[in-house]
Amino acid sequence: MARFEVAYERLDGGEYVPWWHSLALILLTSFCMMLSTVFSPAGWALQSDPKSAGLANAAMLGMLVSLTAPVALIWRHRAPFWFTLVAAIVPLVLPVGMVPALVLLASLIGRRRGPAVWWTLGAVGLSTFVVLTLDALAQPRNASLSKMFLASGSEPNEPVSIPVWHVWVAGVILVAAAWGIGLLLRSQRGERNRIHQVRQQQVAVSRLGDEVARRQERERIAREVHDVMGHRLSVLNLHAGALEMNAGDDARLHDSASLVRESAGKAMEDLRSLLGVLREPLGEEPVAIPLARLPEVVAESFGAGQMINSSIYIADPERADPALSRAVYRIVQEVLTNARKHAPDSPVTLSVQGAPARGIVIDACNRYRATGRTPQPGSARGLQGITERAELLGGSMKYGLTAGGTVFRVTVTLPWREASGV
């Protein structure tokens, strides 16, 4: 069996009007429905002949509907077609008037567009003409709402006749008013949508401009770093190579020169990697450094002549987020660099323990060489960099002197972060 469907286009995007707007419509609609019920044959029968059970019951039911049904206007945007059609059918059974149907029709036209809207408009218009015609034929004057306005000079209980075409003109005006108000609401809503789209485009253009400016700044920094540091490292590598070749039988000088040359080469590789990151498109993540490579950092420190007692254990390192892996890698590197810089002849005790359930704890300590003052927070750029890396991931860092001021200790705690898709 074929299914009957009428197409329409939604224009509101699911937005809702302020609550006070709905409250005003509820109060106005309820008042108009009660007025229509009072000035109707059922209302007149309830006043003049309460014993007429049929009309009196219809009047009482109409009063009840007038007080309760307008609350449904709060949900008029969820199913506007059904609400409008029901509101157009109910006045054919109960004397509640056409105001609810006209209000719902205006709301429908303001939020929908298409053949379904025209069909609903025709249904409301037909119901309006039927209800107004029956009201114009009702007797006496107080049993007709239209006669209350068009024949106000007559006695309330006297029969009065008015041309039917008068109420037809009134019906055309009411339906046209609802249609016009709906088109006005649609126009206002379209204007708000256009303004919203323009603002979104302006924000996107501004964001794009900021990204271009950052991109240019990154390119400028990359060029300056390449020109300055690249040249100096190349000169250092060249002189270290010459010194290594001319060391002769001095094994210690040969090893030192070789170490300087290798360190300069690795520094050049790190510099190229950093410049590659600066030149990457904005928004792209740098290459991930897995936690499984962490022992390589310690091995490189051994190769540089640093004495290290290390204990590294991380459960399920492949589950770690790349940002967490990079942070751990760089923090360990900076901790060892900081120890080598300030206490080159002192052994370093390093411990890295981590698991998804408890996070990662990096602990390093070395013997402290007294310099006449206690290290203060932010006094060293290396320690400041470690602190910033830890705080970016929601972690923390503690450092200071222990064991009676003879040992300098750094402890970094990082929360675990799962890699996406794990």
DSSP 276-300: HHHTSPTTPPPPP--GGGHHHHHHH
- Cis upstream peptide for 347 (omega within 30°): no
Q: Is the pLDDT of residue 61 over 80?
A: yes
Which single residue is written with the structure tokens 């059918």?
89
> Between vectors from CA 119 to CA 188 and to CA 61, what angle results, nearest 5°?
90
Cα angle for residues 62, 65, 67 (degrees, 5° grid): 110
Q: Quote the tokens at residue 74.
A: 């709060």
CA separation for the pair 106, 103 (Å, rounded)? 5
Task: Tell me how far apart the alpha carbons of residues 361 and 376 are, in angstroms, rounded to a whole number.
Answer: 22
User: Sorting pLDDT into bands at 50, 70 and 90, what band is 351?
Assistant: very high
User: What digits encode the pLDDT tens for the residues 396-417?
Assistant: 989 888 877 788 899 999 999 8
The alpha carbons of the chain give a radius of gyration, in whole angstroms, of 42
More confident residue, 379 or 411: 411
CA gap 337, 335 in Å, rounded: 5
Mean pLDDT of 172-192: 88
CA distance 68 to 34: 11
**More confident site: 316 or 247:** 316
Q: Count CA atoms closer than 13 A to 212's CA, side-chain side.
A: 6
Residue 6 clears pLDDT 60, i.e. is over it: no
Q: State the residue for tokens 């302020």.
A: 18
In the chain, the amino acid numbered 7 is: A
- Cα(79)–Cα(241) distance, integer angstroms: 82
Per-residue pLDDT tens digits for 297-317: 677 766 566 788 888 888 888
Rounded distance, CA 245 to CA 115, Å?
A: 90
Are 42 and 58 spatial neighbours (Cβ–Cβ below 8 Å)?
Answer: yes
Phi/psi at 318 (5° precision): -70, -15
Question: What are the tens digits of pLDDT across the range 72-104?
Answer: 888 888 888 889 999 999 998 888 889 899 999
CB atoms within 10 A of CB 130: 15
